[in-house]
Chain A
Amino acid sequence: MSGVRVLVGTRKGAFVLTADGTRRDWKVDGPHFGGWEVYHVNASPADPDRLYASQSGGWFGQLIQRSDDGGRTWEPVGNDFTYAGDVGEHLWYDGTPRPWEFKRIWHLEPSRTDPDTVYAGGEDAALYRSTDGGREWRELTGLRTHESGPRWQPGAGGMCLHTIILDPVHEGRIYVAISAAGAFRSDDAGQTWRPINRGLVSGQIPDPDAEVGHCVHRLAMHPSRPDVLFMQKHWDVMRSDDGGGQWREISGDLPTDFGFPIAVHAHEPETVYVVPITSDSEHYVPDGRLRVYRSRSGGDEWEALSEGLPQRHCYVNVLRDAMAVDTLEDCGVYFGTTGGQVYCSSDAGDSWAPIVRDLPAVLSVEVQALP
């Protein structure tokens, strides 16, 4: 591998950070789409120069940008995210029915094999797919029209479909997660779906172990172990060993199990990273200290990683899509903060250094290992 490219979405634009394999000296390119919210930038595993970006804003709505040269130039592609068929209703914050209303795309997940196929997760929650490089989008309606849909309710951040995992082994299997509906799985390429929330317990909903209604913040999977899923829930870090059939809590000795991102080491399927924050009412790291927590046992036992991270007067958060790992031999771990810092560890979390310190609030971080 010759280097890495880190794709950063922020409240005010996108940035592309590149370095060679040592990951010490960084080139910072951006902002792209300055002034716009960029919820996510992601790359095609099948073509490293094919990037997709979700660009949105309160004034002018949603755009999707595509790059065919690794982020040097961009072209706006399709932005028609229409709900197909009967729009239907979900629950609003006050418990009354409310029609689905498109607001933005939170997450873009390119196919592992086809650069022109990409999935998009929307708010209000819906899953879309494009097979022509983002020009046209079709909703996979089986998810939104699931019989539980009328009982879905937004979390504080909106009713967003924020996680899409394309199973690399089981043909046609897709996982998604929605705040605050929960996790869902399809085994037929997105045509039909079932909730996979058994074992989740959420004290914030009337029936704590309901089939839907859980505020799942993020799912993660190691591609070599596709039946093992990790979850950062509103509160609780969870694990499933059977593709979401059953979950068990692995928060163990974490100082707090509230958080947003969760990631798995590129080469060690039992090594997991989270960034605990204080609580649901205090969205910043505990004790003014920024610490990533790593478990090398698939959960339950966690160690604090703090070398190179601020250990006083730090009150940032790390959002759900703002952590990523690279696939270099020494696995790199990256995350971005609401304070605009992007940190890199080139030794699997043992030590950290900032790549940049003063970007706008970071919404998402992805990384590519470049050939």
Chain B
Amino acid sequence: MIRVVLPAHLKNLARVYGEVEVDVAGEVTQRRVLDALEESYPMLRGTLRDRSTGRRRSFVRFYACEEDLSNDSPDAPLPAPVAAGHEPLLIVGAMAGG
């Protein structure tokens, strides 16, 4: 199980509390985690990745193990502690706006 922490707005949207968990088959990558997340919570489609380009939305960040993974390739393996379920993938709304 991959642990994911959503930002508050998206917890409300998905109607979840705390962390969510998703199953990912094979190598654990950002793309596969997000695909699994959207499969479980279809209302999140388009909120993390642009609908037309599939790219990360500008003000969405992906952190794990005290590293910023936002600009890593979506097909790069996530850190081993995330893949093992020891650490969560943190999805964060960037500091911006008023």
Q: With contacts defined as CB atoms under 8 Å apart, how many contacts are there between chain A and chain B in the complex?
A: 50
CB of B65 within 8 A of chain A?
no
The verdict on A79 contacting B94 (CB below 8 Å), with A36-B9, A59-B59 known, is no
Q: Which residue of A lies closest to B92 (CB)?
A: A59
Q: Which of B17-25, B26-34, B49-57 contacts A (4 or more CB under 8 A)?
A: B49-57
CB of A97 within 8 A of chain B?
no
Name the prevailing secondary structure of the B interface residues. Answer: loop
Name the prevailing secondary structure of the A interface residues. Answer: loop
A325-363 with Cβ < 8 A to chain B: none
The verdict on A60 contacting B51 (CB below 8 Å), with A35-B9, A36-B9, A76-B13 known, is no
B contact residues around A81 at 8 Å (CB): 51
Q: How far is the CB of B29 from chain A (nearest CB, A)?
A: 22
The verdict on A79 contacting B96 (CB below 8 Å), with A60-B10, A60-B57 known, is no
Query: Do B43 and A57 touch across chains, with their CB atoms under 8 A apart?
Result: no
A35, A57, A59, A61 interface centre (most CB from chain B within 10 Å): A59
Query: Do A59 and B94 touch across chains, with their CB atoms under 8 A apart?
Result: yes
Query: Do B9 and A80 touch across chains, with their CB atoms under 8 A apart?
Result: no
Q: Count of B residues near A, CB < 8 Å? A: 20
Bound-state Cα–Cα, A206 to B9, Å: 44
CB of B46 within 8 A of chain A?
yes
Instruction: Pick from B13, B58, B93: contact of A63, CB below 8 A.
Output: B13
CB of A82 within 8 A of chain B?
yes
A35-57 with Cβ < 8 A to chain B: 35-36, 57
Residues of B within 8 A of A (CB): 7, 9-10, 13, 43, 45-48, 50-52, 57-60, 93-94, 96-97
